[in-house]
Chains A and B, each alone.
Chain A
């Protein structure tokens, strides 16, 4: 240890540990989530520099393993990785050995044999990220697994709320849309509750999980009620295939009861900030007037996504050999 290291070690208290992986926000203490959001702050500035790159992950190799189509999450991770100086490889399920029936673990072990350091995984099955994290020594970041979690999306949502409103604690946040199939909703609920927000959900009864009140969440059956209550609406994308599956009668009917419109927001007792994780169905869950209006923070969400992912990569990268050993022995939780 050099003197310079000792000086830093003495001056800055070590942050609460994040561990080897980020699989979900469930069970993460509020302090750890706050630490991630605080770490994202200085990373915002890096994307504003003439040379948008710092050398902190120089020499690290990161694989973006996407078993489901994704544009913005994958690109956001890739920007974050590249701006930290890492080398990245993208693997999409279409046209790769994954589509030839190779198992998830075999794919990952082959990647590890090529000496990678981190895996960012998007997968259609709930629990896929945890499954992988327990079996390989590399750091694993969940970029969305089935209906389980999408932690970096919830983190960027919370960072954006905090930027706009100055706090999370005590805020009333209502998630609007298809709650039952949504990993974004789950991660938001866990994260927001841990930071002391009040959380509501609003959607058709067929798309709101039974018993969600037990998580301390309020349920609204009409978007007007949600707007009257909330400081923030986090409007989810309506997966159009839900209609074919009979969860909702029609898009028009959905828009009539749950669509966030300018006229509705004007009835609110206070200014309501509107988020959307994208991609939007304009005219279905959100009107263009709202999406492009002054209450929308949809584009700041995208900007913050890169900073939050940089923070998570920074906090997880390297330096945890003891955990890697555990994973090799297959003893991970």
Chain B
């Protein structure tokens, strides 16, 4: 096949580590970390949040609380999809009211996942502030949502796929882009 259908590396493992280090610095610089709660969106946001929590803790000397969110039940396209996706457990430690919550996800694209996450978090309490941290911002927003902390920005056309790979899910760390054509041109 032609070269442009091969997945293209956007970040290798070292690049992801570096980006996460920068994001941890940015999160610390942007506000108090005493009441910080990092909430990873399932699935790959969870490991990214874990890594960020460890980095922030190493820099500040304080442990950082973490949560995980499965937004399936808050999707806005639920009535349209035929099959029922499997749901993961949502875990939010304690009361989040008046805390600083940073949502962590792998890729920011349409913004619909983040809309769902914001609604879900609101059902757990009223944080003092909610911020958004993503490893990749690929553009293509369909809602007025922007990230506060971005690892890498890369405009990726619709139909192409940004794959963030983390050890717990994929056995390796990295980000790559697959062109839509490789997936049979469907959709």
Contact = CB atoms under 8 A, between A and B. Distances in A.
Q: Number of contact residues on A: which range applies?
A: 35 or more
Given A42-B70, A50-B123, A50-B124, A8 B85 contact: yes
Contacts of B119: 55
Of the listed residues B70, B81, B142, the one surrounded by the most CB atoms of chain A closer than 10 A to its CB is B81
B79 A5 contact: no
B146 interface: no
Nearest to A319: B82
Nearest to B83: A14
A276 B159 CA distance: 54
Contacts of B70: 42
Contacts of A2: 77, 110, 112, 142
Given A3-B158, A4-B112, A45 B90 contact: yes
Given A7-B161, A50-B125, A55-B73, A39 B89 contact: no
Contact of B91 (A4, A5, A15, A45): A45
B43 A314 contact: no
A3 B73 contact: no
A39 B72 CA distance: 12
B90 A315 contact: no
Interface string A26-37: 000000000100
Contacts of B87: 39, 42-43, 314
Contacts of A319: 79-84
Nearest to B111: A4
A1 interface: yes
Main secondary structure of the interface of B (DSSP, over half): loop
A41 B89 contact: yes
Interface in A105-138: none
Contacts of B72: 8, 56
B109 A11 contact: no
B31 interface: no
Interface string B68-106: 001011100111111111111111000000000000000
A71 interface: no
A46 B120 CA distance: 11
Contacts of B161: 3, 6-7
A39 B87 CA distance: 7
A201 B30 CA distance: 65
A5 B112 CA distance: 10
A322 to B, nearest CB: 10
Nearest to B106: A7
B158 to A, nearest CB: 6
A331 interface: no
B113 interface: yes
Contact of B84 (A5, A84, A314): A314
15 contacts: A1-B187, A2-B110, A7-B161, A8-B72, A14-B83, A17-B83, A38-B86, A42-B89, A45-B90, A50-B124, A54-B123, A55-B119, A56-B73, A56-B78, A320-B82
Closest 7 CB pairs of A and B: A51-B123, A54-B73, A56-B73, A14-B83, A42-B87, A319-B82, A42-B89
Given A11-B43, A41-B89, 10 more contacts: A2-B110, A3-B158, A38-B86, A46-B73, A54-B120, A55-B119, A56-B73, A314-B84, A314-B87, A318-B78
Interface of B: 43, 70, 72-74, 77-91, 109-110, 112-113, 119-120, 122-125, 140, 142, 158-159, 161, 187
